[in-house]
Structure 1
Amino acid sequence: MGRVSYDYMKSSIVRVSPNKDLFIQEVIKASKTLLPYQKENLINWLYFFTADKPELQKWLGEFLDKNTLVR
């Protein structure tokens, strides 16, 4: 997996972010396909991306509480 796949996953997450189910589905897909260091970068980016979006922060918090996206 290269930088292109990481960037594609990020763009997919941004595109579906208004829909909770699709947002979580894309984050799960990313967690299954990205390399471990890319997952860490994705988690950091997700916190940055959701900083001004409280509804996404809530969804992300629920998702990370389930330990689906393991660091």
Structure 2
Amino acid sequence: MGQMMYDYTKSSIIKVSRDKDLFVKELIKASKTLLPYERENLINWLFYFTADKPEMQKWLYELLDKNILVS
């Protein structure tokens, strides 16, 4: 079930990636539902996914600074 939740989270993030509020909401939800190793995988994937999206990278760093996704 874990892999299904991880994949669902990634697809949800892709869908809401244009809206900061929804992006943040999805990441907060992911931080509560994913296992620690899945959160680490998600963070790695997010760096890859946002590599060419500077605005989203800013949102991601804001969340990481607030320890939202940290185990």
TM-score by length of 2: 0.95
**Partner residue in 1 for 2:34:** 34
What amino acid maps onto 2:46 in structure 1?
L
Moved over 6 A (4+): none
**Distance in 1 (alpha carbons) for counterparts of 2:63 and 2:8:** 21
What amino acid maps onto 1:33 in structure 2?
T
Instruction: Provide the identity percentage.
Output: 72
What amino acid maps onto 2:63 in structure 1?
F
> SS of the residue aligned with 2:55?
helix
TM-score by length of 1: 0.95
**Partner residue in 2 for 1:7:** 7
**Partner residue in 2 for 1:47:** 47
> SS of the residue aligned with 1:67?
coil
- Unpaired segments ≥5 residues, structure 1: none
**Distance in 2 (alpha carbons) for counterparts of 1:5 and 1:62:** 24
Instruction: Give the Å deviation of 1:27.
Output: 0.6
Residue-pair matches, total: 71
Structure 1 vs Structure 2 CA RMSD: 0.9
Q: Which moved more, 1:20-29 or 1:1-10?
A: 1-10
